[in-house]
Structure 1
Amino acid sequence: MKLSKSLLLIAIFVSSLYSQPFSHQDHLRGAITKERKWWDLQYYHLQVTVNPQQKYISGTNLIRYKVISSHNELQLEMQEPMEILSVYQDDQKLDVRKDGYSHFIQLTKKQVVGAVNEVVVEYAGNPLVSKMPPWQGGITWTKDDNGNFFIASSCQGEGASIWWPNKDHPYDEVDSMRISVTVPEDLTDVSNGRLEKVDHNKQQKTKTFHWYVSNPINSYGVNINIGDYAHFSEKYNGEKGVLDCDYYVLSYNLDKAKKHFAEVPRMLKAFEHWFGPYPFYEDGYKLVEAPYLGMEHQSSVTYGNGYQNGYLGMDLSKSGWGLKFDFIIIHESGHEWFANSITSSDVADLWLHESFTNYSENLFLDYYYGKKASSDYVIGTRINIGNRKPIIGPYNVNKTGEDIYYKGANLLHTIRQLIDDDEKWREILRGLNRKFYHKIVSTQEIESYINENTKVNLRRIFDQYLRSTQIPNLEYYTRQNKLFYRWTNAVDKFDMPVKVSFGTEKQVWLYPSTSWRETRIPKSFKKLRIDRNFYVSTQNLLEEN
């Protein structure tokens, strides 16, 4: 897609704010290289054997792909200390050129456009141990209170290639996959999708759990969870029919989980109201206890919040409302809609995952406790915004932006005020999930959809909050029953309307731009107050002098 001149200038400006140089490896990881774009992922069969004693993983990944254009090099990722041992196509061993943790498979078979081919990758090693999961990726190797092994993967930032070989770029999701995980016989593996069968090997004293994912899945959403799990389940009657909900928890937490996980049906009811049907009915919903806080692994959401409300018992908004729900259940499950179904094509656009999901916490509160509670919560989270770098990061270098959680959520909350019709806003959120169901998207596509379905031109508003660190300031003064006002600290021609009051509860719309405008005000005028739901600041110039 050719960038327009204005978008190109914005891209250059955003990149300039990230002043650190990007490495050759950053570009290999973040760009859609010629060795990636010629083939389309169809299917994986990931087979993994986990040795807890040695903290060692070995296995194979069968990769099925469709040829889009003919080429003879295929790019995969596998991060050290893991190692690709060999690659085969049609039983022929292939040469591999290694560049950092990118591996370029030298294909000898002619790649005919339209053909569907396979390669099989053998790999092994001691994967990186996560020192601070899930913020630092890797495998967590620990034991539960009974001394049983308790193991899990988490790899959103670093990428799935930290523990298995794959096409580790978000622009191309595999259409379906099997995950076969072999573990010691006294343990259980829980991965994505539905459990097809369990094979027992009495001689080796192992079990192999075979899971099948029938929907497209992003690579970092693939996971293993290994432990002494107890299992219970329930059926949820949702918008798309009966949804299977399965729960896997440490055996001694079973009674606690049965009580606490009653939050799941409440979550599903609220989110189906706002976003539409849960996106993975075919694969079911699972909530799996993990030895870290939690992650949005598709149809295998991981949980480690200690069976308590809030975020580890804290309210991130300081409003009191954050203690009305379990943050991890609500937030990580919200990612099933935004991250797992609707997925950004470049991690620079990761706000599409985190901002919408952060805002889903607010919508959960709205559904059960009302609009004021939800506003108190999302406004309260503004204390966590840094405004050091833009929400959107630089493209093609595997770099996210900043403030993708709380600032992004407050952008969406502000847009809701501009639409000024809650049912229309709800329809836009549901419409996004219909149009981009199981799709890879860009920020521009989401902006365009929201713009086309509102009566407000949001282009400069998106530029202001996504591509700038400035928070718009409404500058004003009064003279002879007139109010003079304009936006400052704003992008060029910023013209966002805003609701204000003149000292009474009655609100009216103002239509500021970056040039001075004026309007008559009542003689009873005392003070200009901006509706708190708009993420802006205000400044009375007369009070300054």
Structure 2
Amino acid sequence: MAQNPDVDIQQYEFHLSVTDTNNEIKGKAVIDFDFVNTTDVLQLDFVAVDAKGKGMKVDSVVQEHNKLKFAQDKETLSIYTSSDAQVAVYYHGIPKDGLIISKNIYGNRTFFGDNWPNRAHHWLPVIDHPTDKAKVSFYVTVPKKYEVIATGTLQEIFESGSTKKYLYKSPVELSTKVMVIGVAQFAVEDLGTVANVPLTSWVYPENEKAGFYDYAIAEPILNFFTQHISEFPFTKLANVQSTTRYGGMENAGNIFYSEKSVDGKRSYEFIIAHEIAHQWFGDSASEIDWPQLWLSEGFATYFTNLYAEYAYGKEKLDERLQKERAEVIAFSKYAKTPIIDSSRTELIELLNPNSYQKGGWVLHMLRRKVGDAIFWKAIKKYYQTYAYSNATSHDLQAVFEEVSGTDLELFFKQWLTQYGEPKLKLDYTYKNKKATITIHQLQQSNFEFPLQLRITYANKDAEVIEVQVTKKEQVFEVEVPETPTTIVLDPNTNLLFEKG
């Protein structure tokens, strides 16, 4: 959904009840908001009931004990009021999407919120856009056999007859894409406080032993990120086995992973790292709009690689980068779009190698350009500046320019707004202790970049030199001790490019 310029939501309070008798949910949403501009309509994103009976039906809207007029169309709820006093929306229905009610791999009934990118409004009346952040509380009533995990901190559990009501509250403002509940029969392991954060694992009871082992890898990952970025942005971290459509979904403070994430072999280690990195980048410091998605996915991709480098060494970093470089090149063969891509009308199409792998590569090249010390200093400043807020690529550029004292306009422009990547061919000749090296850029657009070359010899040790490429065809003369046997492009995996 598009951002609503007239309204700023301050807080949502969702009262939800689910049962085992049918898939209908009953809800009440209490909404605190401010009108930013003069208007007589509070417009929210909310999916109405369709011809197949799926969707939400609003029963009434109340403001200061008065019933308000309202209208629902396909995906919008219009509430007619000029007052910004709190409103309560009463509704019911069978979610078409957003809240996934199904059976898990063991045939047991489950309910999992799955909001990304803008699917929250299938079951919650909200402004379903990443810029309108708000605090949230969930009051979730369920049959007693279930456990509930939800955004925020568990405040209380109320028991009444055959049901339990769970109350979770978030003290910080969030985008709707990461506000969720999960209802299932769980085995729960409390891993204690890690990096000042309560850390738990939630898995299906059938997976208890393997799941607790697999999800415990979150401890070193959480420690690494808190040491290198900032303290954890939320009040808890729960890693949850679920029925999400994705391999993992970075819901704030309670990450939902695929049912297949548990195998007793920690096969999902890097996916867990990716989703935990999102807690800072994407959940707390969020992209201002969908075309800037790389500020979420590119960051999570590269910070997974940084964790891999920390845990397993530079060889693992290079291995992952080389694989991701190949994925970017393959994608660019048929999708001729830049990272910042406003052409997509289906947001799911933004989940592509431009947003993930190429975005990660931009951060890697930026790190190599400014050096490790400046990179980490700028990352920390960027996060501190935009925590619990929204940012653009220009905001990131400004922070890196300020910290590094370097003009990065060309770097950000060519890698974020220009299609493709360099396609390089190298020729060289040798004469009189000099190698004449020609670098050809074969792609349509010109790129400028530093390029390392490893020169090997028959009788001398190899050496690595660096040249600055600024033209489509550029010649460099290099003094060498003898005839080179080979000259290799980018021996240290520092550049996103294709061999021509």
TM class by shorter-chain length?
0.7 to 0.9
What is the letter of the counterpart of residue 511 of structure 1?
A: Q
One-letter code aligned to 1:209: Y
Structure 1: how far apart are the matches of 2:126 and 2:204?
30
CA contact (8 A) 1:192 1:222 kept: yes
Match of 2:119 among 144, 151, 159: 159
Change (3 A) 1:179 1:524: same
Corresponding residue of 1:440? 390
**Structure 1 Cα separation of the partners of residues 231 and 15 of structure 2:** 31
Aligned equivalents of 2:213 and 2:437: distance in 1?
57
Opposite residue 285 of structure 2, the aligned amino acid is: I
Q: Compute the displacement of 1:263 (Å).
A: 0.4
Aligned-partner Cα distance in 2 for 1:338–1:259: 26
Residue identity matched to 2:61: V
Runs of 4+ residues deviating >4 angstroms: 395-398
Q: Bigger CA drift: 95-104 or 215-224?
A: 95-104
Separation (CA, whole Å) in 1 of partners of 2:57 and 2:136: 22
Amino acid at match of 1:498: L
Post-superposition offset of 1:143? 4.3
Change (3 A) 1:71 1:510: same
Cα RMSD over matched residues? 2.5
- Residue in structure 1 matched with residue 277 of structure 2 by the alignment: 334
- The structural deviation recorded for 1:91 is 2.1
Partner of 2:199: 245
1:105 pairs, out of 79, 98, 104, with 79
The CA distance in 2 between the partners of 1:228 and 1:307, in whole Å, is: 16
User: What's the offset of the Cα at 1:187?
Assistant: 1.2
Helix, strand or coil at the partner of 2:187 = strand
Give the SS at the match of 1:528: strand
1:371 to 281, 294, 314: 314
Q: Structure 1 residues 345, 309: closer, same or farther in 2, change over 3 A?
A: farther
Gaps of 5+ in 1: 1-28, 112-116, 130-136, 314-322, 540-545
Shift of residue 538, structure 1, vs aligned partner: 4.2
Separation in structure 2 between the aligned mates of residue 528 and residue 92 of structure 1, nearest angstrom: 78
Task: Specify whether residues 172 and 267 from structure 1 end up closer, same or farther in structure 2 by C-alpha distance, changes over 3 A only.
Answer: same
Show the counterpart of 2:361: 410
| Cross-structure match for 1:66 | 34
* 2:218 match: 264
Structure 1 residue 288: deviation in Å? 1.7
Deviations 1:19-39 (A, max 9, x none): xxxxxxxxxx23x3xxx2232
Correspondences of 1:31-70 after superposition (within 5 Å): 32=3, 36-70=4-38
**Alignment-derived partner of residue 243 in structure 2:** 291
Asked if 1:463 is matched to 2:463, the reply is no
Offset at residue 425 of structure 1 (A)? 2.1
Instruction: Say whether 1:91 aligns with 2:65.
Output: yes
Compared with structure 1, are the counterparts of its residues 458 and 229 closer, same or farther at alpha carbon in structure 2 (3 Å cutoff)?
A: same
Where does residue 303 of structure 1 map in the other structure? Answer: 257
Offset of residue 69 of structure 1: 2.9
What corresponds to 1:524 in structure 2?
A: 483
SS state of the match for residue 37, structure 1?
coil
Equivalence for 1:188: 147
From the two aligned structures, give the one with the greater strand fraction.
2
Tell me, in whole angstroms, the C-alpha distance in 1 between the residues paired with 2:228 and 2:472: 38
**How far apart, in 2, do the equivalents of 1:187 and 1:291 lie?**
15
Aligned mates of 1:108, 1:471 — CA distance in 2: 51
Residue of structure 2 aligned with 1:254, choices 194, 203, 208: 208
Aligned to 1:501: 454
Distance 2:22 2:81 in 1: 34
> Can you list the C-alpha shifts for 1:159-198, whole angstroms capped at 9, x where unaligned?
2102111111111100x22101111121121111111111
Give the CA deviation at 1:477. Answer: 3.8
Which of the residues 417, 424, 443 maps onto 1:474?
A: 424
Letter in 1 for 2:469: P
Whether the 8 Å contact between 1:486 and 1:515 is mirrored in structure 2 is yes
TM-score by length of 1: 0.80
Aligned to 1:217: 174
Partner of 1:423: 373
Q: Tell me the SS of whatever aligns to 2:38.
A: coil
Aligned-pair identity in percent equals: 21
| Offset at residue 93 of structure 1 (A) | 2.0
Q: How many residues align?
A: 471
1:382 is aligned to 2:350: no
Q: Secondary structure at the match of 1:384?
A: helix
Match of residue 52 from structure 2: none
Within a 5 Å distance, the mapping from 1:108-187 to structure 2 comes to: 108-109=82-83, 117-129=85-97, 137-143=98-104, 145=106, 147-174=107-134, 176-187=135-146
Partners of 2:186 and 2:25 in 1: CA distance:
21
Deviation at 1:120, TM superposition (A): 1.2
SS at match of 2:210: helix
Letter in 2 for 1:40: D
Q: Please give the alpha-carbon distance, in whole angstroms, between the structure 1 residues aligned to 2:204 and 2:472.
A: 61
- TM-score between both structures, scaled by the size of structure 2: 0.87
Match of 1:354 among 280, 286, 297: 297
